[in-house]
Chains A and B, each alone.
Chain A
Amino acid sequence: MHLNWIGVTAALATFFGIWFGHVAVRKIEFVAPNVWLPALISWAGGIGLEAASFAVDSRAVSASLGILGVTLLWDGLEFWRQEKRVKEGHAPANPHNPRHARILAQYPAATTFDWLDRVPIGRRLSPEELEAIREAAP
């Protein structure tokens, strides 16, 4: 029986593209003094991959380049979405990053504490519990 590997190839490109972007955006936004530079690099890479996807003959290679290209284009936008999470306190701020230090000074919800570093407990946390968690944070 002939197996068509193009779907598996596309699946690997999708999964690792999302994983890489997810981790890279968080790490880079954490240290970047300005989000424009990484975003522009990400968009340039995305456009380059999309251009390459038109140029290759192989459908499997073209699909992989097309998928990785759109994930990089999306990652460019994610730098601002990540910065917004930092302002809201939904992602930890880096006090050694001058941009984050300004956010910490300006946005009351911003924090160096990672709220998501826990396990689900199966019920909504009360405002008192949230306050206690925040108080206990280093």
Chain B
Amino acid sequence: MNWFGFLTGIATLLIIGLGFVWVIRGEYYLGHLWWPYILGLGIVLIAGSLFVPAAWGSVLMGVAGASLVWGATELKEQAIRAELGWYPYNPKPKPRPPFVETIEKWPLPHL
């Protein structure tokens, strides 16, 4: 009996569950324009997992990274949900990410 996959699955469920929370909070306080930084952080985590010798550490880093990559593509939709009134909309001005003018020219990722 190899429990590694089952326990990884449980951990993945928790990490994805956390994704629901941070996407909502992140969009509320930061706004969707931070998506390239979240995407980048996710890719860094996945790449970093290559250098973690322990199977557990590497797997958890990879899953967390993939969850960040997915969440980055969800920020746009969450911003629309808040603007439509389906989620609380933060009336305070959101912090502008570095290179925001460039980011605004890019198509918003959505899968």
Binding site for B on A (CB under 8 A): 1-12, 14-15, 18-19, 22-23, 50, 53-57, 59, 61-67, 69-71, 74, 90, 115-116, 118-121, 123-125, 130
Contact = CB atoms under 8 A, between A and B. Distances in A.
B99 interface: no
Contacts of A11: 46, 49, 62-63, 65-66, 69
Given A6-B62, A10-B62, A11-B66, A120 B53 contact: no
Contacts of B66: 10-12, 14-15, 18
B53 to A, nearest CB: 6
B95 to A, nearest CB: 13
Contact of B46 (A7, A62, A69, A123): A7
A3 B77 contact: no
A10 B63 contact: yes
A62 B4 contact: yes
The list of the 3 closest CB pairs from A to B, nearest first, reads: A7-B49, A53-B5, A66-B5
B50 A5 contact: yes
A4 B51 contact: yes
B85 A124 contact: yes
A120 B91 CA distance: 14
Nearest to B76: A120
8 contacts: A6-B59, A7-B50, A7-B61, A11-B63, A66-B10, A119-B108, A120-B32, A124-B91
A6 B58 contact: yes
